Structure 1
Amino acid sequence: MPRLALRLAVTPAVHGLEHVTESDGPFIFVANHPSALDEALVRDALRGVTTRLVSVAVEPRAGIRGLVDHAFSLRSASRLGTLLKSGTSVLLFAEKNRTDDGSLAPLDLGAAALGIRTGVPLVPVSLLGTFRALPPWRTTVEPGRPRVSVLFSRPIRAGSGDELSTVTDELAQAISTGLAEESRGWYGALRSQADGAAPAGSDGQPEAGWRRMWKATATPTGPDRRRVWQ
């Protein structure tokens, strides 16, 4: 999506960009992927920060983009390593599958493996509000320029002695903390990170899928809350 069209469609906010600008790249950005808006939002957020960025989804993309990925072997770990070595950052949508309510699905181990292999910092990215603005079953963005957010967490530096599962868990926890802030507030997000808690309803029990979907597509009210990364 072109930048102007994106800005006319949604009201984006970017947080935590200092975690990227305070050190030189390249970076491996690892994000959740609930909507077709996600890639354009991250690219727009990183505009002026990194001039070279390649995006790859664990799920093969259909159509022209899928053919391009295949032709240039962008899903190849060795190819990605070469790109990183040349100074090109990589945006990985690392979820193994898509959920029907926009919640975070389990992450593929490939992102952690790439970080361990190359030593390039892994930057967790949480995308909030994009599922509500443009869920998979819609072709147009919700009217009214809905608010969406891109949250960059502190980079995770993985080395040869790190376990794939441990690094993957760190990535998932960082992304989940950013996502929890939208529903629980900044303090609740910190508590959920400390407790390792899964998303739950007001009674402390895991929420039903229909309720999670309803919340994910509900229009937010009130001013923006204090952000956990500030």
Structure 2
Amino acid sequence: MSRFLSETVDDVRTMARGWRWGRRSQVPRSAEAYVPPAQATVFDTDWARTPAARAVREVAQKGVLEPLLASQVRRHVEGIEVLDRVDGPVIFVANHASHLDTPLILLALPDEWRRRTAVAAAADYFFDTWWRAVGSAAVFNTFPIDRRGGAMAATPGAVLDDGWNLVIYPEGTRSRDGWVGRFQLGAAFLAIQHRVPVVPIAHRGTYAAMPRGQDWPSRGRRQLTIRFGEPLWPGEQESPRELTPRIRAAVAELIDEDRTTWWEARRRAAVGSTPDPSGPDSAPWRRIWEQTTPPTAPTATGKRLRAWRH
């Protein structure tokens, strides 16, 4: 018995000496960690465009969302008359800096356009849980897209073929500092494939009002502006790589117009000197600081409000 206990104690001591206390166990370099393959989440949103869902969405948008937004921010819309020159469907393409962008677009549209507009939303964000998927689809008529550079899903094309307008943010995500990022090719691809026009849209002030990482608009009813540009029709032989820069340039021109005047923006566009919407090559804090000026006239004290939270 004593021999058994002695051998057991020796075994425990040997094991204790070999254990890497407080550190991870050693793994051979040749061993590769097992990563289960990502499973695509399929969420059907066809129900969101049925008559019953549309009736619920009308109440949510006009009865709840619009008065709520009006209580938190001040809105100014320019260029909406361009929609008189198209019959639809169209692809609305906008810069993306805030969760305020989508309700701002939808509530700026005439009712007959708003009721026939669907919004492309990131599958890995808005459709990662059932309750978020149902909520966004019901209120904003969203459908999932893969923003990781995968093949274009069939849903956007099917929605266009059914006569619905689309809202697409070609940057793929909200800007981290309010400036405009690189445009992906998806919107241009859809416009060319389905022979529909692109209506460029520019927001200003949404980053200052509710930047990324903030879940409610800043206090003070900040000024937001949204500008609609002239429809862009794809050329006969134009490729997505050629159309995409044209769309981004139109958005940049609208941003410049909002900062200056219609005439100044047209003059700069004519000579190719429209300011780059990606912003200056400066320190991150400076880029954020410059974008937090809301598009509004100076206050009575001559100062502008700034939002420092990021």
Q: Please indicate, yes or no, whether the TM-score normalized by the shorter chain is above 0.5.
A: yes
1:185 CA drift (Å): 4.5
What residue in structure 2 maps to residue 78 of structure 1? 154
Q: CA contact under 8 A between 2:119 and 2:143: conserved in structure 1?
A: no
Aligned to 1:36: 99
| SS of residue paired to 1:195 | coil
CA contact (8 A) 2:93 2:168 kept: yes
Give unpaired runs (5+ residues) of structure 1: 224-230
Give 1:103's aligned residue. Answer: 179
Q: 2:119 maps to which residue?
A: 55
Match of 2:86 in 1: 23
Q: TM-score of the superposition, structure 1-length normalised? A: 0.83
Q: Is the 8 A contact 2:252 2:274 kept in 1?
A: no
In the TM superposition, residue 78 of structure 1 has moved relative to its aligned partner by 2.8
TM-score by length of 2: 0.63
Q: Does the CA contact (< 8 Å) of 1:59 and 1:97 recur in 2?
A: no
* Consecutive unaligned residues in structure 2, runs of 5 or more: 1-60, 146-151, 299-310
Q: Relative CO higher for 1 or 2, CA cutoff 8 Å, sep ≥ 6?
A: 1
**Matching of residues 33-182 of structure 1 within 5 Å:** 33-50=96-113, 51-57=115-121, 60-62=124-126, 63=129, 64-66=131-133, 74-75=144-145, 77-182=153-258
Q: Quick one: distance in 1 between partners of 2:179 and 2:218?
A: 19
> Would you say the 8 A contact 2:95–2:180 is kept in 1?
yes
| Alpha-carbon displacement from aligned partner over 1:124-161 (angstroms, at most 9, x marks no partner) | 11011000011112222122211101111111111451
Report percent identity of matched pairs.
31
CA-to-aligned-CA distance 1:38-85 (integer Å, 9 cap, x gap): 10010001142412111014674244445777xx96435432222112
Instruction: Tell me the C-alpha RMSD between the 2 structures.
Output: 2.7
Helix, strand or coil for the counterpart of 2:111? Answer: coil
Cα drift, residue 163 of structure 1: 1.7
CA contact (8 A) 2:180 2:277 kept: no
Distance in 2 separating the partners of 1:198 and 1:182: 14
Distance 1:113 1:133, change over 3 A: same
Kept in 2, the 8 Å contact 1:198–1:206? The answer is no
In structure 2, give the amino acid aligned to 1:23.
Answer: V
Could you tell me how far 1:121 is from its partner in structure 2?
0.7
Code of the aligned partner of 1:28: I
User: 1:171-206: per-residue Cα shift (whole Å, max 9, x none)?
Assistant: 1011111222344444553354322542599xxx74
37-46 or 189-198, which deviates more: 189-198
SS at match of 2:208: helix
Please say if residues 90 and 199 of structure 2, whose CA atoms lie closer than 8 Å, have aligned partners that are also in contact.
yes
Q: Which amino acid aligns with 2:78?
A: H
Aligned length: 218
Contact 2:181 2:278 in 1 (8 A): no
> Highest CA radius of gyration, 1 or 2?
2
Instruction: Note if contact 1:199-1:206 (Cα within 8 Å) is conserved in structure 2.
Output: no
